[in-house]
Amino acid sequence: MTMFTYKYKRLMEDFINEVITVEDFERDYLNMFKNVTEKLDNTLFEILNGVFEAVDCYWHECLPGQETAFEISEQQLRKEVNEALVNLNSIDE
């Protein structure tokens, strides 16, 4: 596993395990993703970009079950981050 993917996985795990708040995750993930200097292969980009889009859609006032194409709840964000982590782990073995 590269140091690059490790940082993403660690951040996702901390969020899923409630080590960090959704606000911390949102801020740190956006910063990390916007400052990528490594060349990403398509699979890795798709996974990380999917999380980026989910973070972008997250709205703190959105309640579970009220999600739209443009707004998701924290519960939905956690679900999407968890799926991304499973996918990252499967390509990193």
Q: Mean pLDDT for each consecutive 10-residue tract of the chain (93 residues)?
A: 85 98 97 88 94 96 94 97 96 70
Long-range CB contacts (< 8 A, 24+ apart) of 84-87? Answer: 84/12, 84/47, 84/48, 84/50, 84/51, 84/54, 85/9, 85/12, 85/13, 85/16, 87/47
CATH 3.90.1150.10 for domain 3-91, yes or no, is: no
pTM for the model: 0.91
pLDDT value, residue 14 = 98
Domain residue limits, the chain: 3-91
pLDDT value for 40: 85
